[in-house]
Structure 1
Amino acid sequence: MSSALRGRRRQYEARKILQERKLAAEKLRDSQVQLLQLNETLESRIEERTRALAQANDRLMTEVIERERVQQAMVQFQKMEAMGRLTGGIAHDFNNLLNVIQGSMDLILLLSKDDIARRKAEVARRACERGGKLTGQLLAYSRNQRLDLRSTDVLALFEGVRELMKSSLGSTIELDFALEDGLEYIMADKNQIEMALLNLAINAHDAMPGGGKLKVSARKATPPEGLLPHGTYGLISVTDNGHGIAPNILSKVFEPFFTTKGVGKGTGLGLSQVYGMAQQSGGTARVLSEIGVGTTIEIWLRLAEDFSDSDKQGPLPVLRMVAAGTRILVVEDDASVRHSMVESLEALGYEVSQASDGEAGLRELRREKPDLMITDYLMPGMTGAQLVDIANQEFPGLPMIIATGYADMEAIDQVIEGNAILRKPFQLVDLASSVDQALRRNRDHPPA
Structure 2
Amino acid sequence: MRAHANGSAIPYLRLAWIAVAASVACYTARLMIMQRRQEASHTALRALEEKFHKAFKVSPVALAISRLANGCFLEVNDRWLEKFQSTREQLIGKTSIELGIWVDPNERMRFAEEIRKKGSVRDVPFNIRMAGKISSVLASGELIELDRAPVVITALLDVTELRNATQQLQQVQKMELVGQLAGGIAHDFNNLLTVIKGYAELSRNRDSHATMTGDVHEISKATDKAAALTKQLLAFSRRQVLQPRNITMNSMISGIEAMLRHMIPENIELVMVLAHDLGTVHADPSQMEYVLMNLVANASDAMPNGGTLRIATRNLDLTSAYPERDFEIPAGRYVILEVSDTGTGIAPEFLGRIFEPFFTTKEAGRGTGLGLSTVYGIVKQSGGYVWAHSEPDAGATFKICLPRIDQAADEVALQALATPSVLGGNETVLLVEDDSSVRELVTKILAQYAYRVVSAASGTEAIRLARQYESEIHLLLTDVIMPDGSGKDLAALLRDLRPRLKVLYISGYPHIPSAGVDTMDFREAFLAKPFAPADLAGRVRETLDQE
Q: Bin the TM-score by the shorter chain.
A: 0.7 to 0.9
Change (3 A) 1:231 1:44: same
Q: Could you tell me which residue of structure 2 aligns to residue 71 of structure 1?
A: 166
In structure 2, what is the equivalent of residue 272 of structure 1?
A: 373
Which residue of structure 1 lines up, in the alignment, with residue 477 of structure 2? 374
Alignment of 1:155-170 (within 5 A): 155-170=250-265
Identify unmatched segments of 5+ residues in structure 2: 1-17, 64-78, 84-122, 124-137, 139-156
| Residue of structure 2 equivalent to 1:224 | 322
- Equivalent residue of 1:143, what SS? coil
User: What per-residue deviation string (whole Å, max 9, x for no partner) do you get for residues 142-200 of structure 1?
Assistant: 11113222221222212123222222222232221211243242222111111111111
C-alpha displacement of 1:253: 1.0
Number of equivalenced pairs: 442
Change in Cα spacing, 1:104 to 1:172, as seen in structure 2 (3 Å) is farther
**2:531 is the counterpart of 1:426:** yes
Q: Structure 1 CA distance, aligned partners of 2:381 and 2:458?
A: 30
String of CA shifts for 1:278-313, please: whole Å, max 9, x gaps. 111111111211112111111111113212535522
Contact map agreement 1:328 1:372 (CA 8 A) in 2 = yes
1:7 equivalent in structure 2 = none
Q: Secondary structure at the match of 2:332?
A: coil
Choose 108-117 or 233-242, whichever is displaced more. 108-117
**1:230-309 map, 5 Å:** 230-309=331-410
The answer as to 2:248 corresponding to 1:153 is yes
Residue in 2 aligned with 1:3?
none
Correspondences of 1:307-326 after superposition (within 5 Å): 307-321=408-422, 324-326=425-427
Counterpart of 1:48 (choices 41, 54, 58) is 54
Quick one: distance in 2 between partners of 1:427 and 1:310? 33
Q: Aligned with 1:309: secondary structure? A: coil
Distance 1:429 1:306, change over 3 A: farther
Amino acid at match of 1:227: E
Q: Which residue of 1 aligns with 2:439?
A: 338
Q: Which residue matches 2:496?
A: 393
The CA RMSD over aligned residues, in Å, is: 4.0
Asked if 1:99 is matched to 2:183, the reply is: no
Could you tell me how far apart the structure 1 residues matched to 2:50 and 2:276 are? 59
How far the C-alpha of 1:234 sits from its partner, in A, is 0.8
283-292 vs 410-419, which deviates more?
410-419
Deviations 1:329-363 (A, max 9, x none): 22223344334333433344422333334344334
Equivalent residues of 1:95, 1:405 under 8 A apart: yes
The structure that has the greater radius of gyration is 2
Q: Give the CA deviation at 1:399.
A: 1.5
Give the whole-Å Cα distance in 2 for the aligned partners of 1:416 and 1:288: 37
* Cα pair distance change 1:109/1:183, threshold 3 Å: farther
CA distance in 1, matches of 2:297, 2:498: 51
d(CA) in 2 for partners of 1:195, 1:322: 31
> Relative to structure 1, is the Cα distance of residues 100 and 320 closer, same or farther in structure 2, using a 3 angstrom cutoff?
farther
> Structure 1: how far apart are the matches of 2:280 and 2:207?
47
Q: How does 1:61-210 map to 2 (within 5 A)?
A: 64-104=159-199, 128-210=223-305
Alignment correspondent of 2:12: none
| Contact map agreement 1:322 1:349 (CA 8 A) in 2 | no
Q: CA deviation at 1:208?
A: 2.1
Indicate conservation of the 8 Å contact 1:151/1:307, yes or no. yes
CA distance in 1, matches of 2:49, 2:520: 77
Note closer, same or farther for the CA distance 1:228–1:213 as it changes in structure 2 (3 Å cut). same
Structure 1 or 2: more helix by fraction: 1
Q: Deviations over 1:12-69 (max 9, x none)?
A: 99x9999999999999997897677556534421211212445377799667333322
Identify which range, 179-188 or 135-144, moves more after superposition: 179-188
Q: Do the aligned residues in 1 keep the contact of 2:239 with 2:511 (CA within 8 Å)?
A: yes
Q: CA deviation at 1:379?
A: 3.3
Q: 1:147 is matched by which residue type in structure 2?
A: L
Please give the secondary structure, in 2, of the residue aligned with 1:272: helix
C-alpha distance in 1 between matches for 2:244 and 2:424: 37
CA–CA distance in structure 2, aligned partners of residues 197 and 309 of structure 1: 20
* Native 8 Å contact 1:149 1:187 kept in 2: yes
CA spacing shift, 1:42–1:26, aligned 2, 3 Å: same
Amino acid at match of 2:298: N
Tell me the distance in 1 between the aligned counterparts of 2:521 and 2:302.
Answer: 44
Amino acid across the alignment from 1:240: D
Per-residue deviation, residues 400-427 of structure 1 (Å, max 9, x unmatched)? 2221110354435489654322222335
1:354 aligns with 2:463: no
Q: Structure 2 counterpart of 1:254, which letter?
A: F
Unaligned runs of at least 5 residues, structure 1: 1-11
TM-score using structure 1 length: 0.82
Q: Which residue of 1 is the match for residue 70 of structure 2?
A: none
Q: Is the 8 A contact 1:150 1:310 kept in 2?
A: no
More contact order relative to length (CA 8 Å, sep ≥ 6):
1
Q: Which has the higher strand share?
A: 2
Cα distance in 2 for residues equivalent to 1:161 and 1:247: 32
TM-score scaled by length of structure 2: 0.69
